[in-house]
Structure 1
Amino acid sequence: MTLSPLQLAAIVSAGVPGIYPVGAEAVREDSGDFDSAIIADSAGRRWRVRAPRRPDASMQLEAEHLILQSFSPSLRARLPFAVPTVAGIVPYAGGNVFVYTHIPGSVYDVDQLAELSRREVAQGRTSLAAIIAKDIATLHVMPEDIIYEADLPSYSSEQIRRRKIAELERAAATGKVPADLLAHWQAVLSPGPMWQFRPRVVHGDMGAENLVLEVTPSQARIVEVTGWSDVHVGDPAQDFAWLYSCEDIAFTDEAVEVYRQQMPQLPDAYLAQRANFYAEFAIAQWLTHTVETDDKDGATHAVSMLLDIQDDLRSSGELLGQEDTPPLMSGPQDQES
């Protein structure tokens, strides 16, 4: 069932004491997993409301609730950005509707963020790429105990590699992954130094859509990070994958380099390669989803994108054979232990 902003406002009004909605507006979600709205109440406060459309989406919101509960006031105070607080949970249609605090701001796509970053530098201010990198670094040095105590997932580097192999096998089973790209990814996922890294607390769904910015003529800053349903202990490269869809590679490179400088130990030398791999591999994951849900148009689009990736790798000389070893990108060679 799809819920309109007004329906979500009515659910909040009936189920959360002290919130009396006077207005509602839709919020765009990157996935079709949730119905979302921003609710304005009679006291001038604003709230974000999310309702799951499917059981697995409901589980995501429950997981997010657990991690947000784990963020103590002292832990929140250490973060350079705000983190939502769950203000209410309303049972509805066999699931739960979640109500969160909301900080006003704007959301931009990754290329717009790069443009804003260039503007900040041109005006003699800290680049947005550096701000993003520092925020990710702050998250990655959070204590892993908050993940363990909330009973959220924790993966070793080898478990992550094997999970990706399993996902690649699912994609290959569709018969639609280009053969040379499949061999390339098999080579990337072979055992080796690329998959030897220290797992850290990661956001897991970091992306432009989860960064809320305040942009004025005098500054651009991140005021809130949302979308905490996939927090876990895992590969720090995952939180950089979204940056590799940016057309301005200098923006991405700067973010990775500032992150390296901010971390107490230099990240492993293959972090950028894994992040780029995750960005490419997301298309294969999407292909699997489209085939399993019989979305023929989506599958056709996914295959076209995979062919583009294969062509780009071939033209750049980066396309690996199944027996090849991924080369090391240029950059610091130190590796954290």
Structure 2
Amino acid sequence: MARSHFTLAALATAAVADLDVRRAGPHGSIGAGDFDSARLSGSGGEEWIIRVPRTTRAEAQQSADLVAIRALSQGVRSRLSFGVPSYRGQAPIAETRAILYDYLAGEPLVVSEMIAGSGLPSSVGAAIAAIHSLPTSFVTDSGLTSHTPFEAMRSSASVVDRAAATGLLPAALVERWESAIQDSQLWQFQPTVINGSLEASSVLVSGDRISGILGWHELQIADPARDLAWVLGAPNDDSVDAVFDAYAAARGTSERQLRNRATLYHELDLARYLLHGSHTKNTEVVDDAVAMMSRLVDSVQQSDERPLVSGSTEALDVAGVENLLATTERHRSESA
């Protein structure tokens, strides 16, 4: 049963001594998702968010998020133009704990609204570039994960191999993805600080400005293309171009294969979705994944694009991939 926001408000006062909570209300979908959460207000206009994990997966995620948030010192945060959650306190409840954070203003980004010319795609590109420009030392000093280009390639190959082992992965996608994975030039990149779990719902916007980024539980040093994969779901090529152009301008560099790897990661979400369905023995998810991959094959063949290898100068324009992955997100929410 979902905990009420009044119960969560009481936990907040236990987490922080003398916390003056005057108002409490629900935050997010009540009784849905991995967390019970509430939005709290104080007498001086302060606002907080309190969250309690509902699953062991959510508890592990919350613990990792807390480690990352503590690693993001004030000096590191000063390099960012957007807000990052700040830890305020915690209180035990049952066999887990409630965590209190400062509230970050803004609404979750909706990918379909990321229209070229609106200023939002450029803001997204600049915000991601700011994360990737952070010094790597604070990540390593905090004992967080660091991955090499070889490990990034090997991880992608593992996803393809496991998906192919189900016997349900179309041969055209096996060939396309394996060709990309075997292209050594594609994996020649400099690992950077990345959020690691970046997606539209974790980006908070106010108008055309990025006001905050949530979800830092996979903070690490790895392939910057991972944080850009979800951008391929933007409404059209112009929107995607605007993100990547702003990213390149902000970083003062242009890595030729960045977009190709981002596209590969974006497409591999379908393989992960198939694996999720197979692992949970959910035939509806498996059938859905197979249908989506079939449509992706049609899109790849009809677009007459070259493979995602070093000779390719443009990322695959799969306009339907975001629609396919929207279904993925729906099933992930339902299975949470």
TM-score, structure 1 normalization: 0.85
Superposition deviation, residue 319 in structure 1: 6.8
Equivalent position of 2:330 in the other structure: none
Aligned equivalent of 1:124: none
Question: 1:144, CA displacement in angstroms?
Answer: 0.5
User: What do the CA deviations read for 1:126-177 (whole angstroms, capped 9, x no partner)?
Assistant: x222222111111111110111111111000001110111122222233322
Residue deviations 1:174-193, cap 9 Å, x none?
33222221222111111410
Identity of paired residues, percent?
Answer: 28
Amino acid at match of 1:24: G
Contiguous gaps of at least 5 residues in structure 1: 121-126, 332-337
Shift of 1:18: 3.1
Q: Residue 78 of structure 1 aligns to a residue in which SS?
A: coil
Assess if the C-alpha contact under 8 Å between 2:194 and 2:223 holds in 1.
yes
- Structure 1 170/12 Cα, relative in aligned 2: closer, same or farther at 3 Å? farther
Answer yes or no: is the 8 Å Cα contact 2:204–2:210 preserved in 1.
yes
Q: Is the 8 A contact 1:181 1:319 kept in 2?
A: no
Partner of 2:80: 79
State the partner residue of 1:262: 250
2:50 aligned partner: 49
Q: Which amino acid letter does the alignment assign opposite residue 138 of structure 1?
A: A
Q: Decide whether aligned partners of structure 1 residues 298 and 46 sit closer, same or farther in structure 2, where only a CA change above 3 A counts.
A: farther
Q: Provide the rounded CA distance (Å) in 2 between the counterparts of 1:44 and 1:214.
A: 19
1:329 alignment partner in structure 2: 313
Which residue type is aligned with residue 72 of structure 1? S
Pick aligned residue for 1:300 from 265, 272, 287:
287
Match of 1:9 in 2: 9
Per the normalisation by structure 2, the TM-score is 0.85
Indicate the residue corresponding to 2:211 in structure 1. Answer: 223
Residue 237 (structure 1) shift: 0.8
Report the 3-state secondary structure (helix = DSSP H, G, I; strand = E; otherwise coil) of the residue aligned with 2:266.
helix
The aligned runs of 1:281-300 (5 Å cut-off) are 281-300=268-287
Q: Is the 8 A contact 2:110 2:201 kept in 1?
A: yes
Instruction: For 1:179 and 1:231, locate their aligned partners in 2 and report how far apart those are by CA, in whole Å.
Output: 34
Q: Which position in structure 1 is the counterpart of 2:142? A: 150
1:276 aligned onto 2:263 = yes
- Distance in 2, matches of 1:59 and 1:261, equals 36
Structure 2 portions without partners, runs of 5+: 316-336
Structure 1 contact 111–248 (Cα < 8 Å) conserved? no
Match of residue 236 from structure 2: 248
The alpha-carbon deviation at position 28 of structure 1 amounts to 4.8
Distance 1:8 1:113, change over 3 A: farther
Counterparts of 2:38 and 2:157 in 1: how far apart (Å)? 37
Q: Is the 8 A contact 1:12 1:90 kept in 2?
A: yes
Aligned residue for 2:127, secondary structure, equals helix
- The amino acid of 2:243's aligned partner reads A
Whether contact under 8 Å (2:15, 2:100) holds in the other structure is no
Whether the aligned pair in 2 keeps the contact of 1:27 and 1:38 (CA below 8 Å) is no
- 146, 151, 162: which one pairs with 1:170? 162
* Separation in 2, partners of 1:54, 1:99: 18
Q: CA deviation at 1:37?
A: 3.2
Residues 5 and 25, structure 2, Cα contact 8 Å, conserved in 1: yes
Secondary structure of 2:292's aligned partner? helix
- Structure 1 residues 42 and 228: CA distance shift in structure 2, 3 A: same
Task: Map Cα deviations across residues 286-320 of structure 1 (whole Å, 9 max, x no partner).
Answer: 22112212222222222221111111111112375
Task: Say which is worse superposed, 198-207 or 54-63, in terms of deviation.
Answer: 54-63
- The count of corresponding residues between Structure 1 and Structure 2 is 313
- Residue 132 of structure 2 contacts residue 194 of structure 2 at CA under 8 Å; is this kept in 1? yes
